[in-house]
Homo-oligomer: A and B are copies of this chain.
Amino acid sequence: MQERRSVVTENTAPRRLRADAQRNVDSLLEAAKAVFGTSGVDAPAKQIADLAGVGVGTLYRHFPQRSDLVKAVFQREVDACADAAPALSAAHEPGVALDKWLQRYTEFLATKRGLASALHSGDPAFDALPCYFMQRLGPTCASLLEAAAANGEVRADVSAKDLLYAVANLCLPVEDEGVAYSRRMVALLVDGLRYGAAVSRSGA
């Protein structure tokens, strides 16, 4: 029914916004980021609009779907995360590069409490998110993974998608634990990747 698409996350024809409109979009993104951190990604729309000093209507105009807003809020960081891969690859052994990149990914997710939940909330408002994340991070992760596997440092039977989701899940908030917990568990998972490789090598 609703056919309007988010102005900001729309790749095709990124029609220039009027200056004031752009200012609103910026306020909204900043406000959303703050509110997401406080109350999670499914915080009431009004709360975000209020903090942005903008009417709810304006929020809905620019971000018809909740996931549009989440996407837009984290786009830059997701991009940065993806873009960090080449440098890591260049500077480290493949296995270490993978490890460090996953740590970076962990850092991103774990400090955005609520983001990870949105990736599998079931709420149709977030349906578009997993797809977006995969599109952006999947190839990056895949190439790191393949390089490390090719180098015999990690097992080869885990897909990038599986890994990205697993890490995302491990970054979900747990009782009174903080980021450190997520880091530890992700490290454990990565060790699992290594263990597989070691076993198969030792078996060779």
Contact = CB atoms under 8 A, between A and B. Distances in A.
A196 B120 CA distance: 30
A172 B173 contact: no
A25 B160 CA distance: 45
B193 A188 contact: yes
A189 interface: yes
A130 interface: yes
Contact of A174 (B120, B174, B193, B194): B120
Interface of A: 40, 120, 122, 130, 158, 162, 165-166, 169-170, 172-175, 177, 181, 184-185, 187-196, 198
Interface core residue of A122, A130, A165, A174 (most chain B CB under 10 Å) = A174
A176 to B, nearest CB: 10
B173 A120 contact: yes
A192 B169 CA distance: 16
A82 to B, nearest CB: 19
